[in-house]
Amino acid sequence: MKSVVGPVVLAADHGGFALKEAIKRHLRVEGVDVLDVGTSSTEPCDYPVFARAASEAVASGQAWRGIVVDGAGIGSCMVANKIPGVRAAMAFDLATAKNAREHNDANVLTLGAGYLAEELALGIVDVFLSTDCTVERHRRRVAMIDAIDKSRGNTPENPRGPLSSRSSPSMASPDFDSLVGRITQILTSNPSLLVQPTCGGSMVGGDACAGCPIGGHCATRCADTVRSMIACVGPGCRVSGAPGGGEVPKDLAGFIDHTLLRADATYSDIDKLCDEAAQFGFASVCVNPVFVKRCAARLSGSSPVVCTVVGFPLGAIPKEMKALEARRAVREGASEIDMVIAIGALKSGDLRFVEDDIRAVAETAHDGGAILKVILETSLLTDDEKVAGCVAARKARAEFVKTSTGFSTGGATAHDVELMARAVDRKLGVKASGGIRSAEDAKRLIAAGATRIGASVGVKIVKEARGIAAASKIEAVEAVEAKEAKGTL
């Protein structure tokens, strides 16, 4: 490759790992000397670490140019430009790559793997490495950029000038305060890592409450305790149940994603869906992406959130497109994303592809503060494939696994829900959807382990549930009256 006069350093986080590896192969074929500073897998990691390593290699002269890849390319660019002597630019097409070199003499390129197809990314790399900054007016402006570092005493030779206190310590010395802070953040967000609570406030290893000798039946046997926990945790709380727990004495509404995914749904249909969700206190409305903004506006100030679907209903589109769908939906007001898994890849046994597919959407959702549910389409899978899909979803950091789209050959079954709950070790929620037509259907699936119900007949289910509860109370009163009449009470 012409114009390449020295080593090129590559770096990426887990979201950019696959594209980094493709760039590395491409450059080596071209005879370019490559320095790879990580990451070395798709295991979750922090992009600032690797962006900094690549940028310091360029600033120190160890590398001639640097290329850093993360999910969007933005964060790594910010990190790189904190390193004295680095002029980093994010490019998203050939024109911006050329401009970064011709006008700004950028020496570090950052790329967003979530936005770029591999072929385009490789083209951007070629343009970046083969374009020079030669026009005098551009070189003069680049010198003005470099002068800012020099005026502050920050240069590649003296990186710790007056502003060095703003930078983190060298990677050669472990930053224990940052490490402790990170661990504290994780444990604060996941208190179950410290102790595993059972019902009644008892802890594993202590005295479990008498109602739950095997655990997992708290919602049935210790309903008041569970209600107290929900009140403390807030509306984001999810309570899992083990198989065999019987009828859960809870209002079903909070489990339900009120769903309308028909192609012929009108604006008035969507408005009615939202109004019913607010009236009955459903967990969310689940709609096609085109209606997300409308639902978010109509539900503003209400408890239900907006859920939408990605890669729906076949799951047979590239992960980059799924991530783009998710990003647009989150920006327009979606708080929950239901993505369809790469079904063909799962049935082919390509679990790495499946996991990467999920992770791309999970990272996008999480960046926007949304949660991810992964639709397996269980009617098309064997039990082993269902388990493998659940394991991939957990590894990719989804929050839920979901049975069905409702558009295939079958819907949710108690067997599938129980199998999925076991497969995720009850660490993820389980959403049952497809073919749920009654309160009894919903209760059966909740007892099997479902923590969310997707249904287009949510109003009917809630009304039935309330009717069943009322009928039970009437029967109980009649039984007492009968006993009093007989003198047996």
Catalytic positions: 338, 402, 431
CA distance 425 to 394: 9
Cβ atoms of 359 and 331 within 8 Å: the answer is: no
Q: What are phi and psi of 243, to 5 degrees?
A: -60, 145
- Pull the structure tokens for residue 480: 């007492």
Helix intervals (H) in 70-135: 74-80, 94-102, 118-130
460 in helix, strand or coil? helix
Is the distance from CB of 124 to CB of 97 less than 8 angstroms?
A: yes
The CA-CA-CA angle for residues 34, 35, 37, to 5°, reads 140
Q: Name 400's Cβ contacts closer than 8 Å, sequence gap at least 6.
A: 371, 372, 373, 374, 428, 429, 430, 431, 451, 452
User: And the tokens for 433?
Assistant: 């959807």
- List the one residue out of 463, 314, 464 whose CA is nearest residue 375: 314
Residue in this structure with the two tokens 């076991």, named with its chain if needed:
422
Query: Using the 8-state DSSP alphabet, how is residue 197 labeled?
Result: B
Distance CA 387, CA 216 (A): 20
Reference 283, options 433, 424, 440, 408; nearest CA is 433
Number of neighbouring beta carbons within 10 Å of residue 470: 10
Q: Could you tell me the two tokens for 436?
A: 């749920």
Q: What ranges make up the beta strands (E) of 341-382?
A: 371-375
